[in-house]
């Protein structure tokens, strides 16, 4: 009898895991369970969908480098009609005078890991990006290549369609529990009363993963946090505009003829956002817009077109993903908790899940630092560059 894999979560993480399992030769049954196959509120569909190599954790840099190569070859992988709108305009991360030494050291580390990141003085920033005010800026780090953005919905549609073409079944349903015998999950239970027997279970439920792991009496400090995106137009051309992360905490990038941007809410105003998708309108007026106008004076005049909110699957331990085999439940593999950088790292995470199941461990890229062991032990692998 062929093996059965049940993947909990049918968005970008679950779909890449399913697709890589098939690509690497798994011939058994793969069922992906997704509670909303319209993906109306899923983090993937609502993501700003950017990719960067500027991370403080080397494993994240290498996951990004894999995705960059994957996105550049998207037509070779999925066919000549494949298009995810991939744009490499770079990330410009601005820091104050007190961050110069750390930022230069970070850029040097990133280059050492293979990223094309350079450090810019305020004068160099002003020359490259004359519309940016360098008041209060001590340094900028910039991904000269291998950084930019893409259309997350297009990427999800491609990989999900390819997985289905390879015989992966997508099932509309809500997972409510698990039957465990010994050290293995035997059945994944659904809200309608049905059960899905499994030889392997993959936890790829994004922001819902923490609550689902609680049903297994296993700790996972992953929960949804609301992040608002504002779409607007301003009297500035969007062509060649980078993804900009300002020292104030705002981010902004081009989107079509206009721009999108946002800012995290203060930590004391960032509760569990289960079921809450109302944008933080006050953040736009009181925080985002003033900071944006200070950094880019031409954007003092702007017209808000729309706003939306999605959920980050925030790992409260260290803002890093959790990938790999569980330490007690031997047929449970995790791919979750990426805290805002999951869409860009989904290809590498999916490949890692497939290698874990098919080969007993990571083969192409060692994702061991992102393992569940650190959750059990409470030993964080902190990611210092988080937005």
The whole-angstrom separation of Cα 7 and Cα 26 is: 14
Within 8 A by CB and 6+ apart from 348, the residues are: 62, 63, 66, 67, 365, 367
Give yes or no for residue 309 having a pLDDT over 80: yes
Average pLDDT over residues 380-385: 90
Burial 94-113 (b: 16+ CB within 10 A, else e): bbeeebeeebeebbeebeeb
Nearest 5°: phi and psi at 310?
-125, 180
Within 175-301, residue ranges assigned H as helices are 209-214, 281-283, 289-295
- What radius of gyration do the chain's Cα atoms show? 21
Q: Assign 387 a pLDDT band (cuts: 50, 70, 90).
A: confident
Strands (E), 96-183: 117-120, 139-143, 148-149, 169-172, 175-181
Sign of the C-alpha dihedral, residues 350, 355, 360, 362?
negative
The pLDDT mean for the chain works out to 96
CATH entry, 4-49+152-221+317-377, from 3.40.640.10, 3.10.105.10, 2.40.50.100, 3.50.50.60: 3.50.50.60
pLDDT, tens digit, for every residue of 351-363? 999 999 999 999 9
pLDDT, tens digit, for every residue of 104-152? 999 999 999 999 999 999 999 999 999 999 999 999 999 999 999 999 9
Q: What is the separation of C-alpha 294 from the centre of its chain, rounded to a whole number of angstroms?
A: 29
- Tokens at residue 129, please? 């990006």
The whole-angstrom separation of Cα 328 and Cα 184 is: 9
The whole-angstrom separation of Cα 355 and Cα 361 is: 6
Please give the pLDDT value at position 146: 97
The domain spans of the chain are 4-49+152-221+317-377, 87-148+224-312
In this structure, are residues 345 and 315 in contact, taking their beta carbons and an 8 Å threshold? Answer: no
Strands 222-233 and 303-315: antiparallel
Please give the pLDDT value at position 1: 58
Average pLDDT over residues 224-228: 96
User: What is the value of pTM for the model shown?
Assistant: 0.96
- Tokens at residue 111, please? 């280059």
Q: Quick one: what percent of the chain has pLDDT higher than 90?
A: 96
Task: Name which of 15, 74, 68, 19 is nearest 45 in CA terms.
Answer: 15
Nearest 5°: phi and psi at 75?
-70, -35
CATH entry, 87-148+224-312, from 3.30.9.10, 3.40.366.10, 1.10.1040.10, 2.40.170.20: 3.30.9.10
The whole-angstrom separation of Cα 109 and Cα 107 is: 5
Please give the pLDDT value at position 320: 96
Average pLDDT over residues 304-333: 97
Task: Name which of 237, 301, 240, 291 is nearest 264 in CA terms.
Answer: 291
pLDDT, tens digit, for every residue of 50-90? 999 999 999 999 999 999 999 999 999 999 999 999 999 99
Give yes or no for residue 101 having a pLDDT over 80: yes
- Tokens at residue 302, please? 């702007």
Give yes or no for residue 295 having a pLDDT over 80: yes
Average pLDDT over residues 258-284: 94
């Amino acid at each position: 009898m062929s093996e059965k894999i049940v993947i909990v979560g049918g968005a970008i993480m679950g779909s890449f895991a399913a697709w890589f399992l098939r690509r690497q030769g798994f011939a058994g049954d793969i069922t992906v369970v997704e509670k909303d196959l319209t993906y109306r509120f899923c983090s993937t569909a609502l993501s700003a969908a950017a990719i960067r190599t500027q991370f403080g954790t080397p494993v994240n840099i290498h996951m990004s480098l894999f995705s960059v190569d994957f996105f550049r070859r998207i037509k070779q992988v999925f066919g000549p009609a494949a298009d995810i709108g991939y744009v490499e305009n770079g990330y410009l991360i601005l820091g104050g005078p007190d961050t110069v030494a750390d930022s230069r050291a970070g850029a040097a580390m990133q280059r050492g890991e293979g990223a094309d990141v350079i450090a810019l003085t305020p004068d160099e920033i002003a020359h490259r990006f004359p519309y940016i005010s360098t008041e209060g800026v001590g340094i900028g780090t910039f991904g000269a290549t291998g950084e930019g953005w893409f259309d997350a919905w297009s990427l999800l549609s491609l990989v999900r369609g390819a997985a289905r073409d390879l015989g992966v079944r997508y099932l509309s349903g809500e997972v409510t529990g698990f039957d465990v015998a010994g050290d293995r999950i035997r059945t994944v239970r659904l809200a309608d009363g049905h059960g899905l027997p499994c030889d392997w279970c993959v936890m790829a439920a994004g922001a819902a993963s923490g609550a689902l792991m609680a049903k297994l009496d296993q700790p996972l400090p992953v929960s949804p946090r609301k992040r608002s995106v504002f779409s607007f137009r301003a009297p500035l051309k969007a062509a060649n505009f980078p993804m900009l992360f300002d020292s104030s905490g705002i981010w902004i990038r081009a989107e079509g003829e206009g721009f999108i941007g946002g800012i995290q809410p203060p930590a004391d105003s960032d509760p569990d956002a289960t079921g809450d998708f109302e944008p933080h309108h006050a953040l736009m007026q009181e925080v985002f817009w003033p900071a944006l106008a200070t950094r880019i004076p031409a954007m003092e005049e702007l017209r808000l077109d729309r706003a939306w909110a999605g959920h980050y699957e925030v790992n409260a331990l260290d803002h890093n993903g959790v990938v790999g085999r569980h330490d007690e439940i031997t047929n449970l593999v995790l791919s979750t908790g990426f805290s805002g950088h999951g869409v860009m790292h989904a290809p590498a995470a999916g490949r890692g899940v497939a290698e874990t199941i098919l080969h007993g461990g990571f083969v192409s890229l060692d994702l061991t630092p992102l393992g569940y062991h650190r959750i059990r032990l409470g030993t964080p692998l902190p990611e210092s560059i988080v937005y």
